[in-house]
A and B are shown apart, each in its own frame.
Chain A
Amino acid sequence: MANKILLKGNEVMSEAAIQAGCRFFAGYPITPQNEVPEYMSKRMPEVGGVFVQAESELAAINMVFGASATGTRCMTSSSSPGISLKQEGISYIAGAELPCVIANVQRGGPGLGNIRASQGDYFQAVKGGGHGDYHLIVLSPSTLPELYTLTMNAFDWADYYRNPVMILGDGILGQMAEPVEILPYEPILDLPKKDFVLDGCKGRQPRVVKTLVLKPADGLIAHNEHLQAKYKRIESELSLCEEYETADAEIFVSAFGITGRIAKGAVRLAREKGIAVGLIRPITLWPFPKEPFALAAETARQILVVEMNFGQMIEDVQLASKCACPVEFLGKGGGWYPTEEIILEKIESMAASSVSAAKGNK
C-alpha cells in the first residue's frame, strides 16, 4: 500500500526538494506561496539544512547565488511580483552557470494584481525575464504527484546542465491538496562533479565565479556562444509533453499547468460526444516540445490554446505548428479560471464551424 499523504501543492513541492537533497532555501512571504517558506523553515533544520527568511525576494535569490556557489542544492520560491524582483539575480545565476531551483506560484498581474491563480508569467519564464541571452529550464506540472516528481527532477537537471530551473506553478496548484506518495529520491541522470565550487583554495588554484567578461574584447561573445551551445544541447536532450487522444484528432487542444489538467477533462467530455479532439500538454515550457505540434499540424484542422492569460504560449504553438492551421485562443488573465464546460463549449463550437466549413467547401 503506497504511503500517501494529503498535502497542499506548496508543501508537496517543498518536501520533494528536501527529498532531492535541497539544503538551502531562502524566501520571502508572498501569497499564494507562503506555505513554501513556512514548510521549509520547519523542515530544513530537521535535515541539517539552512532556511533564511530573506529581507526581500531579491536578497533571497542572491543568497541562493551564494549558496549555489558552495555546491549546495538550493532553492527559492515566490509569486509573480517577487519573481520580477529576482530577475537580475536569475540572469547572474544563468550567466555564471550555477544550478538552482526557482519556483513561481503565479498570481494575477500586472503589478500587485490579485492573489488568484494565473498563468501570466509564461513570457517572463520562457522568453527571458532577466536581461541577456539566457534560458531557464521551465517545468509546468498539472497535478501534485507530477509537481512532486518534477521538483525532484529539477535539481538533477539543474546540476547536470549547470543551469537554473524554474517550476512554473500557480495559485491553484499551490493551494490545492491531493494525496501524494512521498517517493524517495533517485537521480535520473549521471551527475557530474561540481568543479566550480568556492570553498577556499586549499590544495588548488583560487576560483572565481563571475559574469563580467571584459577581456578579450570579444570574450563575452565567446561566453555567450558557449551558453547557446549548452541551450541547444538541452533542447535536443530534454523535451517533455503529454499527448492525450491525439492519434486521430482533428482538433488539438493545448494548455499547460493546471489549465492542461482542466483541458484534459474537457477533451474527455468532447470525445464522449464523438468529437475527434486531442490534448497536447507541454510539460517543459522551455525547451518547448515542438515535434508534437509539427506532427499535429500535418492533420489538424484547428488548434485551440487555452491559457489563464491573454495569449502567451499560443505564440510558441503557432511557431511550432508553423501556422499550418488556424490557432484559436481561449483565456483571460487576471484570475480567470476555465472549467471543463467552458472549454468543451469552445471545442464544440470549433467542431461545428469546422464541419460547416467543410460542407461549404463541397
Chain B
Amino acid sequence: MATLTRTDVLKEAQTHYCPGCGHGITHRLVAEVINELGIRERTIGTAPVGCAVLMYDYLNCDMIECAHGRPPAVATGIKRMLPDRIVFTYQGDGDLAAIGTAETIHAANRGENITVIFVNNAIYGMTGGQMAPTTLTGMVSTTSQDGRGQHGEGPPLKVCELLSALDGVCYLERTAVSTPKDVNATKRAIKKAFQNQIDGRGFSLVEVLSMCPTDWKMSTAKAVSFVNDEMKKVFQLGVYKDTVS
C-alpha cells in the first residue's frame, strides 16, 4: 500500500484544535484532495470565524479570513473575478447556518461555482459551547441550559435539506468523520465537490458531522458515539442533490 503521511498542502504547524475534534480530520482530507487534484497553486480558501479561524496557519495555499458568516459572499467576489481559480469556503455551523444563512442560500441559489465545506458539530465551539442552529432538540448548551426546545428555540436546522430545494445547487452530500468508513466517504465527497468546481458545474456543499468532545463535555469515545447514535438520526447521511451523476 502507498505511504500514508502528511501532504505538503498541510503545514507542519500543530493545530490548536481540541483532542478528538473533527476539524483536524477534515482539514487533512481537504489537503489530501487539493494535493491529489494538483490544484494547490490555483486555490484560494476562505477561513470562517469559529474554531477554524486559524485555518490559514494550517493550509499551504492563498487564504483570506472573512467576517463571521460571510465566506460565501467573499468567495463570490473572488471567484467572479478569477473564474479559473479554485475557491472554497470552510465553515462551521454558526458561520454557515446562523449569521451566514443569507450568504449561504444566495451563493447556492446563484449557483456560484464554489466548493463549501460545512463542518457541523451542533455547537458553537470557539466561544465556549453555546447553542448552534444545528444543536439537537434536548441538547444542553450554555445558552440552552434546559435543553433545546424548552424556550422557543425551534428544532435543529437541516442545511442539506434546505439547500436541496434550490435549483442553482449542483451537489449536496452529508457525511461524517466519526468512523473510518465515514472518513473515507467524506474524502470522496470533498473530492467530488472540488472536481465539480474544476468542471465548472456550480455550487457544491459537503456537510460533515463532526465530534466536539470539549463543548459536548464528553470523552472522545462518547463523542464518537454521539455522532453515530444521535446526530446521524437527525442529520441523515447521504446525497441530497447531484445534478452531475
Cα–Cα, bound, A58→B42 (Å): 27
Residues from chain B with a CB closer than 8 A to the CB of A202 are 41-42
Q: Does B64 lie within 8 Å of A210, measured CB to CB?
A: yes
Q: Would you give the shortest CB distance from B47 to chain A, in whole angstroms? A: 8
Is the CB of A295 closer than 8 A to any CB of chain B? no
Question: Which of B54, B70, B110 touches A62 (beta carbons < 8 Å)?
Answer: B70
A353–B76 CA distance with the chains assembled, in angstroms: 60
In the bound complex, CA of A63 to CA of B77 (Å): 4
Query: Given that A199-B85, A208-B56, A212-B53 are known contacts, is A69 also in contact with B64, CB under 8 Å in the complex?
Result: yes
Residue B2 interfacial (CB < 8 Å): no
**CB-based contact A62/B103 at 8 Å:** yes
> How many residues of chain B are within 8 Å of chain A by beta carbon?
34
> Are A59 and B102 closer than 8 Å at their CB atoms?
yes
User: At the interface, yes or no: B63 with Cβ under 8 Å from chain A?
Assistant: yes
Dominant secondary structure of chain B at its interface with chain A: helix
| Residue of A23, A66, A69, A200 touching B73 (CB-CB under 8 A) | A66
With A70-B82, A200-B41, A202-B41 as contacts: A208 and B76 at CB distance below 8 Å: no
The residue of chain A having its C-beta at the shortest distance from the C-beta of B70 within the complex is A62
A50-B80 CB under 8 A given contacts A62-B73, A199-B85: yes
B46 / chain A contacts, CB cutoff of 8 Å: 66
List B residues 170-185 near A (Cβ within 8 Å): none
With A201-B61, A209-B65 in contact, do A24 and B81 touch (Cβ < 8 Å)?
yes
Contact A201 B40 (CB under 8 A): yes
Contacts of B61 in A (CB 8 A): 200-201, 206
**Chain B residues near A68 (CB-CB < 8 A):** 77
Instruction: State the Cβ distance, A306 to closest chain B Cβ, in Å.
Output: 37
A151 to chain B, nearest CB (A): 20
**Complex Cα–Cα for A70 and B61 (A):** 14
**Which residue of A74, A92, A199, A212 is within 8 Å of B77 (Cβ)?**
A74
- Is the CB–CB distance between A209 and B60 below 8 Å? no
* Interface contact A200-B77, CB-CB below 8 Å: no
The answer to the question of B66 belonging to the interface, with a C-beta cut-off of 8 Å to chain A, is yes
Point out the residues of chain A lying under 8 angstroms from B110, CB to CB. 52
Interface pair A62/B74, CB less than 8 Å apart: yes
Q: Determine if B41 and A55 form an interchain contact, defined as CB atoms under 8 angstroms apart.
A: no
A70-B78, A201-B40 known; A89 and B70 CB under 8 Å? Answer: yes
Could you tell me the distance between the alpha carbons of A123 and B15 in the complex, rounded to whole angstroms? 42
**A210: nearest residue on chain B (CB-CB)?**
B65
Determine if A152 is an interface residue (Cβ-Cβ < 8 Å).
no
Within 8 A of A (CB), among B71-89: 73-78, 80-82, 85
Task: Provide the bound-state CA to CA distance between A203 and B78, in Å.
Answer: 20
**Which residues of the partner chain B approach A64 to less than 8 Å between Cβ atoms?**
77
Within the complex, which residue of B56, B80, B85 is in contact with A200, where a contact is CB–CB below 8 Å?
B85
User: How far apart are A303's CB and chain B's nearest CB, in angstroms?
Assistant: 41
Does B102 lie within 8 Å of A55, measured CB to CB?
yes
User: Closest chain A residue to B43 by CB distance?
Assistant: A200
Once A66-B73, A69-B64 are accepted as A-B contacts, the answer to whether A56 and B102 lie under 8 Å apart by CB is yes
Determine if B106 and A59 form an interchain contact, defined as CB atoms under 8 angstroms apart.
yes
In the complex, what distance in Å separates the CA atom of A50 from the CA atom of B82? 11
Query: What is the 8 Å Cβ interface bit string for chain B, positions 49-69, against chain A (1 contact, 0 not)?
Result: 000011010001111111100
Query: In the complex, A83 Cα to B11 Cα: how many Å?
Result: 39
**With A and B bound together, what is the CA distance between A59 and B76 in angstroms?**
10
Task: Please list 8 pairs of residues, one from A and one from B, whose beta carbons are closer than 8 Å in the complex, sorted by A's number.
Answer: A50-B81, A55-B105, A62-B67, A64-B77, A92-B66, A200-B82, A206-B61, A209-B64
Given A62-B67, A198-B64, A201-B41, 12 further pairs, Cβ under 8 A: A52-B80, A55-B103, A59-B103, A62-B103, A65-B74, A68-B77, A69-B77, A70-B77, A70-B82, A89-B70, A198-B62, A199-B44
